[in-house]
A = this chain, B = another copy of it.
Amino acid sequence: MAPRMAAFLHLFRSARSSSIQIRRAFSVSRKRTMLSTELTEAQVSALRANKDRLAQDLHHTCQWGYGIRWGDGHTDTGMQRLALSQEDKQVRDWFIATTKALGCRVIVDAMGNIFAVRPGRRANVPATFIGSHLDTQPTGGRYDGILGVLSGIETLKTLNDMGLETEGGVGVVNWTNEEGARFPISMVSSGVWAECIPLEKAHALKEVPTVASLPSAASAPESMKSALKKIDYLGSVPCSYKETPIAAHFELHIEQGPHLITAGQQVGVVTAVQAYRWFRLNIFGRDTHTGTTAFEHRADALYAFSRMMVQAREVAASHGCLASVGIIEAKPGSVNTVPGTVSFSLDIRGPKTELVEVVEAELRQDFDAIAAEEGKGIGKPCRVEWTLDFDSPAVDFHPDCIECVQQSAEAVATDAGIADPKSLVRTIMSGAGHDSVFTSKRVPTGMIFVPCKDGLSHHPEEFCSADDCARGASVIMQAVIRYDRKRFSA
């Protein structure tokens, strides 16, 4: 048995044997038996999450808003928990009740962000946070966002069980509407907190009417503010990093890509997030009869769209970038009328901000050329308009956070018992945006990726094994402790 394993088992056994007394002691007198800054390096490296408890808690929360069933198992469903829906309210209520029972102070701000803080030894210093989101895509899964928040809860539980006191507090934050699926700016609430998005703009966001699950959407789209009010999560605390400061932000997430799972690796130490821009485009052509209008007499906005989408992939790929269309609407929407108007979303991403700019510039030219060609036969060519909805430049995470995650990942990887455990850990870039993008603008931030099946996310079959979830939770727990020690050991 490796010395580290022995230390871990010792720690774990003592934590377990005394957990009932400790929990009692904690809830009554907040007495704690160990201090983070007094642990040895080996003791930190031996910290582990409780796999079964984490899995149980995670799937427990998925009772609110479970989605499409894809298998026979009890938990073989996706999730459909749109931000500020009734299901979102239910899981939020659970989050508050659970964190309060674990001894946390809870703050809800004006964007409905929920900050739960387990106090540390020192008063008047901000806590180190674990954060992510409990909302999902309309056809999402059980791990994207949810695992991040639940790893925070699991961390609180483990620290309590062990009676481990930290210097600064340890916080868990649930950010509102990270997905941007219901209210169409993703990460909007961490964006307001970082003072990168004005509160008024966020409050005024109207829900997307194509999101089928919301009966209100089609008739009278609800604003984000009224939706917050309706579920009683419009907090009185201003939404700002100045009002609710945090010392650092760590986020655990499934990779949402195939690199870890393909390479058989366990943990991704995220060093950066790729750049992306979201656009809304409108193509204006001419409605005409499908049966009587020769191709050369058409200004078919949907045909122009099709050529644009084919072109977008080609151009993006040539620069190592991505271009995607998620939303499309063609009007007037009749079988025998050539659509005169098409609206669609365009999502361009790349490892560097400049690459995204290059792809955008090329596509603006190409789309104009495609539009000009469709309808030139009647002297009324199509025309295309771009609106930038969202611009997220590439982000580099903080070296201190990356270091804490790297050390923790390497420590946890030793459990595999292989000769070179570091080979199970890699640095990685995030393709998706996360709330960590906005927190990184104000405080040191780091992220951890764990593998997911087929690299699949935003899909009901999104899957991360209980082992991978627990490994990720162990890494983030250690990273938070390491960061606390780094802050207060000077």
Contacts and interface: CB of A to CB of B under 8 A. Distances in A.
Given A291-B274, A297-B258, A336 B326 contact: yes
B309 A303 contact: yes
Interface string A221-263: 0000000000000000000000000000000000111100000
A322 B290 contact: yes
Interface in A194-225: 208, 210-211, 215, 218-219
B328 A257 contact: no
Interface stretch (A8-16, A337-345, A439-447): A337-345
Nearest to A455: B297
A426 to B, nearest CB: 15
A355 interface: no
A478 interface: no
Contact of A300 (B258, B324, B335): B324
Of A208, A257, A303, A335, chain B has the most CB atoms within 10 Å of the CB of A335
Of A287, A290, A313, A334, chain B has the most CB atoms within 10 Å of the CB of A334
**Copies in the assembly, this chain:** 2
A330 interface: yes
Interface in A298-356: 300, 302-303, 305-307, 309-310, 313, 316-317, 322, 324-328, 330-340, 345, 347, 349
B327 A328 contact: no
B334 A326 contact: yes
A454 B317 contact: no
Of A278, A290, A310, chain B has the most CB atoms within 10 Å of the CB of A290
Given A291-B347, A454-B378, A459 B286 contact: yes
Contact of A336 (B186, B287, B289, B328): B186
Contacts of A287: 137, 139, 458-460
A363 interface: no
Nearest to A314: B295
A62 B472 CA distance: 67
A45 to B, nearest CB: 30
Given A291-B347, A305-B306, A322-B290, A138 B334 contact: yes
Contacts of A288: 456-459
Of A257, A289, A297, chain B has the most CB atoms within 10 Å of the CB of A289
A2 interface: no
Contacts of A397: none
A128 B287 CA distance: 35
A256 B292 contact: yes
Contact of A292 (B255, B306, B313, B328): B255
Interface stretch (A161-169, A176-184, A412-420): A176-184
Interface string A451-484: 0001111111000000000000000000000000
Contacts of A332: 137-139
A138 B326 contact: no
The 5 closest A-B pairs by CB, nearest first: A292-B431, A290-B324, A256-B292, A210-B333, A291-B432
27 contacts: A137-B332, A180-B334, A180-B336, A181-B334, A184-B335, A186-B336, A208-B334, A210-B333, A211-B333, A215-B219, A256-B291, A286-B456, A289-B432, A290-B322, A290-B347, A290-B349, A291-B322, A291-B430, A292-B430, A293-B455, A294-B322, A295-B316, A306-B309, A327-B335, A328-B328, A334-B458, A338-B458
